[in-house]
Structure 1
């Protein structure tokens, strides 16, 4: 199966991608992991990305596309993959289509995780992290620590990341709506999109996604 996972910030894409990739025994390919791997390995594409990032600029599409194509050609992706964060715009989606056609491959499904904007803001703006970098995450509404502002595990101070403020979250959502959301209509025109509610428990959302993937697989067998 070759799958694209789409959804706004706070929809739980990373969590769902990890579960789905494990269930399907295919690699989870995320843009963040691509950047980190190429930069740490010192690849030519990684060096280019690092230069742009160090200068405070967005990494150009052609660099991101190059990284994604290299990763999709690795042996562990020969039986399929799950893309998370790529493509992020129409240009990248068209480049992905061209790449797949060139290798006589195609996408099987595009899963669109849907969550109300106010829920996204509440999820992200309420998030609190441990300053000791213990990896423990709390929430101001539904996952409170025993002692306000203190990590249950290590006693570290809890804080809100600057990127998690409501103002910043709404700006990120505006970018998503203008740049990434259009790819949903692009893929819907190809009959690939299933929209899934991202509300509920992680397991509930995963089950919805797996049912959509199974339906997509059955449709591919019949066509």
Structure 2
């Protein structure tokens, strides 16, 4: 998941960035003011989440929200609770008081994941009930030399990101660049077959031969021994429920 932090205290912003990165977020920017935030959102695609302090050096954050319709989940992070009611008028999904309590951040992430799973389950049930055509993406066109090559999803060991690009690893141990982010792929692939184990990997269940659980949970995928498939700590419970189906 991608995130932007709007925080005028740079050391606090850096600490929060480290905390989010440990939760598998990719922090795109730390913005210290209303002016810098307005400029950034006008020039860039909006992230999955915006963590926004209310009182900034050149005004409060509502100046930003009144001028730009941010297409992200908004979480307010502030030392002042008197703005809570007004904050939720801007469709915030949570309100975290500073200093940020890691357990409350975990609850916010879990709440979001639960809502997302609930919506996905409702949609999948409707698809089954109405017996309509499967809408999951089952093939991909990739560039192979001077040709285009079609890869079926059952041939894919995993999708992975590296250096701000995304790739397919096939069961022929070949890698191809793909013009999709992992966030986008996660929404398009069959969730019965593919799982996002961390911010870098989306794996195909059929190629997992075993699980190794010591200090961390690692997937054993014989055809991709060059990679370390470590399940994010926050996703282990959901992964195990998915894997045993």
TM-score by length of structure 2 reads 0.31
Flag the structure with more relative contact order, 1 or 2, with Cα contacts below 8 A and sequence separation at least 6. Answer: 1
Greater per-residue helix proportion: 1
TM-score by length of structure 1 reads 0.34
Greater per-residue strand proportion: 2
Larger radius of gyration: 2
